[in-house]
Chain A
């Protein structure tokens, strides 16, 4: 290996001398005042700088919200309270709170997938790894189906997460969230 490198080096050296001699002896006459730029005509024009192609940024993951089932956890008509008792009435649903919880879960899953396809471990706090994608297997589509338990405000949500990677593989997990900023993972399927 070393020998071949040396031979190649010698060959380039000889070639360089030959070019230099040729340049001195047989070069075309200067077309401009070389006194002002004595070396300009002797050197090749600078080549345009070619910037290396930037690494393509992973596309932001945008999970599609699938079915959303809101389950009313009021005690209405369960026999816990008699008909007409204040406790038997339905607890009015705080819809903006439900919507915010839903959006926060989708955002949390999005962030987890994006982090993983950028090479990270994911952002959902799950004690153990929850691999759904990675840098070599970016996400094609992700769908989240939600079941949200609500008693006035959200109390929990089960998220069915289905991921189809660009290589065609699929991943599935189920997460149970409690409200929080961000939503807290209560349980995760293995």
Chain B
């Protein structure tokens, strides 16, 4: 009896040692349970400017990064709709203004604004700050981007073109710059979606379980969200189902305009139609 116990103990210790040595099998396929409810998932992904001067409170700032992510019920398709931060809309609870003002009332107010302006349901939001964004990208290991033209903004310049791995600071520059590239705010919005889609590609390309949970942890620690920890974990694994080639990136189209002395963007009718279309099945067109 004692010998049997000893054998079991040795076997258990051996197994534990193997695990500690990191030799656990890297499993490439996960089944997420229970299956999806078939409904499109709609999330707001917001980047706060933290207000001038930097208030260290992300909901004291404006949402200069403004993406609406639609994911189909079967998690096989997704669309990022990039909304220019200067889009002139009716902000929930505060009248007409730039859409980025909604974050001054918290992520929930941004959800209410989007629901009211575009007539869609929003399931949740994630908001981050500039410092947290940089920190998150660095924790993620950088982001690989094909840079078309050199970009500069606030010091962390990207001086070369072509495919390259950007640091957190450079990625923030890539997502913020609206002056050194043509297209201004529209180009910036597109770049933000490009960064997010690229991060998704990286997760799918390296689906080791700890890598997924690392990403979930990064999201949790670097964002303010109304999603629960288990919901984020589920989304992390559901992201593996989504083929990167099925991720669309579209821009909510608009035209530059003035309201008094404020430079704004007036969204075209096509922008409203695009968002309604994406809300239907997470695909545009």
Report A's interface with B, CB cutoff 8 A: 64, 66-67, 71, 73-75, 78-85, 87, 125-128, 140-141, 143, 145, 147, 149, 151, 155-156, 158, 160, 162, 164, 172, 174, 176, 178-179, 184-190
Chain A proximity mask over B35-71: 1 for CB below 8 Å, otherwise 0 = 1000000000000000000111110000000000000
Secondary structure of the A side of the interface? strand
Please, which residues of chain B bring their CB within 8 A of the CB of A128?
Answer: 31
Given contact pairs A78-B136, A140-B8, A162-B15, A186 touches B237 in the complex (Cβ within 8 A): yes
Select the stretch in B182-190, B213-221, B272-280 that faces chain A: B213-221
B1-60: which residues lie under 8 A (CB-CB) from chain A? 8, 11-12, 15-16, 18-20, 24-25, 27, 29-35, 54-58
Chain A proximity mask over B233-251: 1 for CB below 8 Å, otherwise 0 = 1100100000000000000
Contact across chains for B31 and A188 when beta carbons are under 8 A apart: yes
Nearest CB in chain A: distance from B13 CB, A: 8
Given contact pairs A140-B8, A149-B216, A156-B230, A126 touches B16 in the complex (Cβ within 8 A): no
Interface size on B, residues (CB 8 A): 49
Please, which residues of chain B bring their CB within 8 A of the CB of A83?
Answer: 56
Given contact pairs A67-B20, A79-B129, A126-B33, A158 touches B11 in the complex (Cβ within 8 A): no
- Report Cα–Cα, A185/B233, bound state, in Å: 11
Contact across chains for A156 and B229 when beta carbons are under 8 A apart: yes
Contact of B12 among A74, A79, A125, A141 (CB under 8 A): A141
| 7 A-B pairs closest in CB distance | A155-B229, A82-B56, A79-B131, A178-B230, A189-B27, A66-B16, A80-B132
Contact across chains for A187 and B220 when beta carbons are under 8 A apart: no
Contact of B223 among A80, A187, A188 (CB under 8 A): A80
Central interface residue in B130, B209, B237, by most chain A CB within 10 Å: B209
Please, which residues of chain B bring their CB within 8 A of the CB of A185?
Answer: 33
Contact across chains for B230 and A79 when beta carbons are under 8 A apart: no
Given contact pairs A174-B27, A188-B33, A149 touches B217 in the complex (Cβ within 8 A): yes
Contact across chains for A186 and B19 when beta carbons are under 8 A apart: no
Report B's interface with A, CB cutoff 8 A: 8, 11-12, 15-16, 18-20, 24-25, 27, 29-35, 54-58, 128-136, 209-210, 213, 216-217, 220-224, 228-230, 232-234, 237
Nearest CB in chain A: distance from B52 CB, A: 14
Contact across chains for A164 and B221 when beta carbons are under 8 A apart: no
Nearest CB in chain A: distance from B80 CB, A: 22
12 residue pairs of the A-B complex, CB under 8 angstroms, read A66-B12, A67-B20, A80-B58, A81-B57, A81-B129, A140-B11, A155-B220, A156-B229, A184-B33, A186-B32, A186-B234, A188-B31
Nearest CB in chain B: distance from A40 CB, A: 47
Contact across chains for B222 and A75 when beta carbons are under 8 A apart: yes
Nearest CB in chain A: distance from B191 CB, A: 20
Please, which residues of chain A bring their CB within 8 A of the CB of B233?
Answer: 149, 155-156, 176, 178, 186-187
Contact across chains for A155 and B230 when beta carbons are under 8 A apart: yes
Contact across chains for A149 and B213 when beta carbons are under 8 A apart: yes
Please, which residues of chain A bring their CB within 8 A of the CB of B33?
Answer: 125-127, 184-188
Contact of B132 among A79, A125, A158, A189 (CB under 8 A): A79
Contact across chains for B25 and A172 when beta carbons are under 8 A apart: yes
Central interface residue in B25, B33, B129, by most chain A CB within 10 Å: B33
- The chain A residue with its CB closest to the CB of B48 is A80
Contact across chains for B237 and A66 when beta carbons are under 8 A apart: no
- The chain A residue with its CB closest to the CB of B134 is A79
Please, which residues of chain B bring their CB within 8 A of the CB of A126?
Answer: 31, 33
- Report Cα–Cα, A81/B48, bound state, in Å: 11
Contact across chains for A80 and B129 when beta carbons are under 8 A apart: yes
Contact across chains for A151 and B31 when beta carbons are under 8 A apart: no
Nearest CB in chain A: distance from B158 CB, A: 21
